[in-house]
């Protein structure tokens, strides 16, 4: 009974605090994604096209880690080993096409944020011809639906699917040569996912992971097509 007494007030507070959809603050998300020196501020191709690497390439992939604190509606994207493995699988066809001689994840602990110069230098240390810099930000929209009126009841607190969690992922991928200033146009993708459940037990992490998978899938396909243009 003590557990029930503790959960009911919690559910009531949750139901009051997220009664309707607020949507995604795309402006704030974009500012968070592009707010630090990152590989996404200049999308023009440089004039010295002869400086671009020639296939087959050795590609180093760097997943940006940010130290910016989360807010209730905007979160930094935590890139997991499963995410890194998924992107490697998305790019795998380029091996068969002899466009990639090798690809690997840059895990240099000295790298912080999205400093292009440092990332390129790390790529050079590991023998890469190009680096792919992957960045992302997540938006969370958590709100109640028509079943939330059941939350004050005992069964409703546990069983009523009265809360929705919508997640939007914005992800970018930037290809940069290691030994020249050549870079390809920035690739940007978005992906959404949602889940529904009882407020006390619904976790935002489930739709976040689903949206991240979709974003990586789309971004991987874009990078594949981008590299194919360099044949």
Q: CA 52 → CA 47, 92, 97, 147, 156, distances in Å?
A: 10, 21, 19, 57, 61
| pLDDT reading at 6 higher than 70 | no
The pLDDT value recorded for residue 216 is 97
In the chain, what percentage of residues exceed pLDDT 90?
A: 41
Q: CA 29 → CA 10, 97, 171, 210, distances in Å?
A: 29, 36, 11, 19
| pLDDT reading at 133 higher than 50 | yes
Using N-to-C axis directions, what is the helix angle for 81-91 and 205-228, rounded to 10°?
Answer: 30
pLDDT tens for each residue of 36-73:
443 434 444 443 444 778 889 999 999 998 777 788 78
CATH 3.90.79.10 fits 2-228, yes or no: no
Q: Which residue has the higher pLDDT, 135 or 195?
A: 135
The pLDDT value recorded for residue 188 is 92
The pLDDT value recorded for residue 108 is 72
Q: CA 18 → CA 21, 40, 133, 136, distances in Å?
A: 8, 34, 35, 25
Q: Kindly list the domain boundaries of the chain, sorted by start residue.
A: 2-228
The pLDDT value recorded for residue 69 is 79
pLDDT tens for each residue of 114-130:
788 889 989 999 999 99
Per-chain mean pLDDT for the chain: 79
Residue with tokens 């440092």: 118
The pLDDT value recorded for residue 37 is 42
């Amino acid at each position: 009974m003590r557990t029930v007494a503790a959960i009911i007030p919690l559910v009531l507070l949750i139901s009051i605090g997220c009664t309707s959809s607020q949507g995604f603050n795309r402006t704030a998300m974009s500012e968070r994604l592009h707010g630090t020196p990152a590989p996404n501020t200049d999308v023009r191709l440089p004039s010295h096209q002869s400086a671009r690497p020639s296939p087959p390439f050795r590609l180093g992939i760097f997943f940006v880690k940010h130290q910016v604190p989360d807010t209730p509606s905007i979160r930094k994207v935590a890139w997991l080993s499963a995410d890194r493995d998924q992107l490697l699988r998305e790019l795998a066809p380029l091996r068969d096409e002899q466009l990639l001689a090798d690809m690997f994840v840059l895990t240099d602990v000295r790298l912080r944020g999205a400093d292009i110069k440092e990332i390129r230098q790390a790529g050079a240390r590991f023998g890469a011809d190009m680096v792919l810099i992957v960045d992302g930000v997540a938006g969370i929209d958590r709100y109640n639906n028509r079943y939330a009126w059941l939350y004050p009841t005992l069964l409703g607190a546990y069983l009523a699917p009265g809360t929705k969690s919508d997640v939007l992922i914005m992800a970018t991928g930037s290809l940069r040569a290691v030994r020249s200033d050549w870079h390809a146009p920035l690739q940007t993708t978005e992906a959404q996912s949602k889940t529904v459940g009882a407020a006390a037990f619904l976790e935002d992490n489930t739709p976040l992971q689903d949206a991240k998978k979709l974003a990586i899938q789309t971004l991987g396909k874009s990078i594949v097509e981008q590299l194919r243009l360099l044949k």
